[in-house]
Each structure stands twice: as structure tokens, then as C-alpha cells.
Amino acid sequence: MSHPHPEHVPPVEGIELSGTEVETGEPIAIVAMETPVPVMPAGATQHALERVQLERYRVDYFLRTGVLRFDDVRRGDDPPDFIVSGGTVDETIDLAALGLEERRKAYGLFRRFRERLFAATKEGRLAHLRGTLVNVWFLTEGQLPPKATDELILEGLLQELQAYRPDREGYAQAVDSIMRDGFPERLPTQLLPISTADQSAGCQIVPVEEGALSGPFSSATGFECQLKTSTYVRQSDIRAELNRLIAQHDKAPTQHLLLTLGGPDRNGLRYPSEAQLARLLLNGQPLAVPAVAHLRRVTLHCWTTGEVFEILT
């Protein structure tokens, strides 16, 4: 018998707030409650992923301009990733993703944690979590997420959840008290999160009404689990990452660097927040790119919208 896959596909992809920093006036974005969306099978090789990105760009460019930039693709010697010809160009091309690496790391760890929860539920170790929503975080203030390979963090948080026992009546009374009287100086214990001993990961367990949960994961486990993390992104941060990628790929014989925004990773997932980086990147002051020795062209291509931005031509 097949079991529901633990991948989480919610109705809302994410929430993003944009504005300017009060002290500096610099454009910023705050990304929260994002959920990666599966768009292709997991486990693709790096070369296959790059080819998918290249083909998506070729189609989107044609649809937007009516111009076929190339019609023949050959594998390069890394560098370049590909040699393209025909159409309007003959050039060597490298591909890379412009994204929020720390969020990708956090979601990578979260996916592995959900798989552990799924397995533990099948073994009967998490029956006490039925009818709850488990909000998980792997970020601590001023730090990047733990490495996706850190098994100790996953195991530590799983043990905390196994030992935890929800107090549904106490939780409801505490919420009613806050709604009636406002927040007390100290939160009731029923509302406090649990965390690993080193505070590198934690979660908040929220009882929910019967029938409030839906989806393959909650149908299999009786509870839901989502990642609760927000990322504060400055324009200068994403511009610095753009310049880093340009410098990294400015190598002979590469002529064209194609950067994909919001495309899938090797798990076949795209991150909706990354599709908005072009707006943050290009907003306000003119974009200054580093001097290059070999690159003749740098292009940003948005996977979700099909937009193409020429950064260097």
C-alpha cells in the first residue's frame, strides 16, 4: 500500500511585505509563511536542472519578443554549461540561481524533519499530537539556519515533541483570558513554545478544531506541521549576491550568464519569494555591476512571470 507523501502543498504560497528601511531609506522586503511549490520531480542532476532553466528562458524570451535567440544546444565543458547557436546568437552560456540561500537551507531542513515526523507517526510515537498544528522554526536571532545535514538538531526536536503533551483545556482558557484581559506580563505555560536544549530549533503547538486540517500529511498523521520563519532582505544584500555570482562566473570561455529567479531547486521546488527579488533588486538607485573580463551579457529571468531583465549587454 502506498502512503501519502509528506510534502506540504498549501493553498497560500506565502506572504511578503515590502517597503523602505526607516533609518536608511533602503528598499527592503520581509518574507514570511512561505511554502515551496513542487514544479518538477525531485532528484534532478545539476546539469538537468540547468537545462530546464535554459529551455524555460528560451521559450519565455520567444513568447515575449517573438525572437528565437537560439535553436541548438550543446553541453559545454563546465565552464561553460552550454554552447548555444542558431537563431540570433552563437554563444557560450552559464546558468545560476539568484535566491535566498538561508531560506532554502531552512526549508531543506524542514522537509527532512517532516519526513521524520511522518515515520514516527507510523510507529505510533506521536499520537498525542493529533488535532494540532505544529509551527516549526530553525532560525535563531542573528544567525543563519542550521546546516541541512545536522541530524542532531532534527533528532533533538523530535524528542522534544515526543515528550510534549498538549493541554487543550488549559490552552483554550489561556487564549480566552488574553482575548478578555489582554496579554499578561508572563505568557501562560500552555502557550510557551518548546525548543532544543541549544535553542537552535523549536516549535509552537496549537490545538485546532476537528476538521480544520486538510492535505495528505495531516490525513496520514492527524496533525499538521509548517515552517514558521521570516527573512528580512535588504536591497544591498541581494545586489551583493548578484555581484558575487557575476564575479564567480566571469571566466573564459563563458560569454553569457543567465540567472534564474524563482526557479526549482534539485528537490523540484520553487520558492515564491524569490520571484519578487527582481523588484527589490532593480528598485531605486541604478544598478552597478562589477567590471567583467569575459562576460558579454548578464540576464535575469523570472521563472514564474517569464520576465527577462538585461543587466549587462
Confidence of residue 244 (pLDDT cuts 50, 70, 90): very high
What pLDDT is stored for residue 143 in this prediction? Answer: 57
Q: Which helix (H) or strand (E) holds 60?
A: helix 46-65
Q: What is the pLDDT of residues 164-181, one digit of tens each?
A: 999 999 999 999 999 999
In a shared domain, residues 180 and 215: yes
Torsion from C-alpha of 14, 18, 22, 27, nearest 10 degrees: 120
Q: What is the pLDDT of residues 36-63, one digit of tens each?
A: 888 899 899 999 999 999 999 999 999 9
Instruction: Please state the rounded mean pLDDT for residues 66-90.
Output: 95
Q: What is the pLDDT of residues 118-145, one digit of tens each?
A: 999 999 999 999 999 999 988 644 555 6
In a shared domain, residues 106 and 227: yes
Structural domain span for residue 262: 46-100+233-312
Instruction: Please state the rounded mean pLDDT for residues 93-111.
Output: 88
Confidence of residue 312 (pLDDT cuts 50, 70, 90): very high
In a shared domain, residues 146 and 161: yes
* Cα R_g (the chain), whole angstroms: 23
Question: Does residue 212 lie in a domain region?
Answer: yes
In a shared domain, residues 209 and 119: yes
pTM as predicted: 0.80
In a shared domain, residues 298 and 210: no
Lowest mean pLDDT segment, chosen from 14-18, 67-71, 152-156, 305-309: 14-18
Question: Does residue 15 lie in a domain region?
Answer: no
The number of angstroms, rounded, from the C-alpha of 72 to the middle of its chain's C-alpha atoms is 32
Cβ atoms within 10 A of the Cβ of 25, count?
9
Q: Which three cell numbers stand for residue 247?
A: 564575479
Q: Which helix (H) or strand (E) holds 84?
A: strand 82-85
Instruction: Give the residue with greater pLDDT, 242 vs 229.
Output: 242
Distance CA 130, CA 27 (A): 42
In a shared domain, residues 123 and 222: yes
Number of domains in the chain: 2
Domain end point (choices 231, 258, 281): 231
Distance CA 27, CA 131 (A): 41
Q: Measure CA of the first residue to CA of the last residue in the chain; give whole Å.
A: 55
